[in-house]
Amino acid sequence: MPSGDPPGQRTSGDVTTWSVVTGNIDSASTSPDARPSSPRSLVSGQPVVTMIGGGQLARMTHQAAIALGQTLRVLSGGPDEPAAQVSPDVVLGSHTDLDALRRAAEGSHALTFDHEHVPTEHLDILVAEGVNVQPPPQALIYAQDKLEMRHKLRALGAPVPAFAEVTWAEDVAKFGNEHGWPVVIKAVRGGYDGRGVWIVDDADEAEPIVAKQLDAGATLMVEQKVEMRRELSAMVARSPFGQGATWPVVETVQRNGQCAVVLAPAPDLSDELAAEAEGLALRIASELGVVGSMAVELFETVEGALVVNELAMRPHNSGHWTMDGARTSQFEQHLRAVLDYPLGDTSATAPVTVMGNVLGAPEAPQMSMDERVHHLMARMPDAKIHLYGKGERKDRKIGHVNIVGGPGSIDDAEYVAAVRERAERAAHWLSHAEWTDGWDEHGE
Ligand SMILES: Nc1ncnc2c1ncn2[C@@H]1O[C@H](COP(=O)(O)OP(=O)(O)O)[C@@H](O)[C@H]1O
Ligand SMILES: [Mg+2]
């Protein structure tokens, strides 16, 4: 570190880097003056960013936009969606309707996404019309289409499981016989939270799933079921200038194919594997030309190697902990990146932060959410509550809770377990109105 720099900060050329921020990650970068001028700005003169989709990711990006003096314009399917409830600049319409996309893009400095489902041909038209689409469609395609992603990552030399396209049930049988059972069948597009993923033990189990999905018009693929120790996520951000930043690699815990808990950083992860995961994510961001926050979902195999699962080119559930546990949240960083601002410091502010998803109970509890919030606040003053304004439905992501650990060490398993238990207890309380440790909130 050159003398005179603040602690943890390094300067090389004209790029400032933080301890967990890499500087210019590209061999060739674009000019920092490439930001397009907008035909229309807010009264404040601050940029307008349009986000396609009115879900919780847009809602939380809007929170970050407020702090930066911006408002986030959202294209929302309805006025009740999480982001539409809070943004004063809402365009109502469908993300598959080109005219709605055009209206949402008008006058904005950058157009970005809360989900992957905008048709690529629409995005190509917007780009041709001068809209600053970030991440650009030629990068976004690898987050939209799992088969394209597998081909591309394999070509880049990134570790991926064996895979094949499925055009009839026989393709799965052939793949399973060649690579071993069980195998994983996936919808190539449109899946989320484990919807669109089927683990099958044999050809007989695969046959009806494949028939039903192909009949419904889905494109399918099959891949090896990875024998894993656990799932990790490497989150990074990249700007058009080519600056890259990585947050600490986290462990994600899924239940029924859906993220339930995130431990940041991943406990018991060697420095070598952490560096490998961060380097891999930065390389993918650079090679694909990603702009914005990106999650690289990873499997840590039982042998201790990394395999890429999938890419998300937007803020991601595995980065929600950054709202309370990192100097720069993934939402602020996404805005900084798509606007080609310098990126923010990604360091963690505590030895561990644990995020628990509030997943809707099978039946919404009698007790109102407001009362549940009161009780949680009374019992856990340190719990950071984030609710998305969504109705309660079974397994639906309606919020999350972050617990930022106090003094301690990530290498202390008891300390980590205690923080995790609090996060899971808080999240379960909010969804079920039940304390997992049997506490009676009205008791003596
Ligand atoms: N090849 C695989 N081997 C083992 N488990 C897998 C595999 N692919 C997916 N899974 C499991 O299914 C979950 C969801 O799969 P993913 O492709 O990430 O779909 P989604 O788009 O729904 O997140 C993963 O987080 C993981 O738990
Ligand atoms: Mg996934």
Taking the centre of ligand 1 as the mean of its atom positions, its distance from the CA of residue 283, in whole angstroms, is 22
- Which ligand ends up closest to the CA of 196? 1
DSSP state string for 75-99: EESSTTSTTTTT-S-EEES-TT-HH
Q: Which residues have a Cβ under 8 Å from the Cβ of 417 and sit 6 or more positions away?
A: none
Centroid of ligand 2 to alpha carbon of 157 (angstroms): 21
Burial of residue 400 (CB within 10 Å: 0-12, 13-18, 19+) is: buried
Q: Are 104 and 52 in contact (CB under 8 A)?
A: yes
| Helical segments of 216-327, H only | 271-288, 322-325
Q: What is the per-residue pLDDT for 192?
A: 85
Atom number in ligand 1 closest to CA 228: 4
Output the CA 219–ligand 2 centroid distance in Å: 17
Which of 225, 309, 311, 395 should be mutated for ligand 1, with most atoms under 8 A from CB?
309
Closest residue by Cα to atom 11, ligand 1, is 257
| Ligand 1, pocket residues at CB < 6 Å | 161, 184, 186, 191-194, 196-197, 223-226, 231, 254, 257, 297, 309-310
**Which residue owns the Cα nearest ligand 1 atom 1?**
225
Backbone dihedral angles phi then psi of residue 334, each to the nearest 5 degrees: -60, -45
**What are the average pLDDT values for consecutive 10-residue runs of the chain, which has 444 residues?**
37 39 58 40 78 98 96 96 96 98 97 96 98 98 98 98 96 98 96 91 97 95 98 98 97 95 98 98 98 98 98 98 98 98 98 98 98 98 98 98 98 98 98 96 73
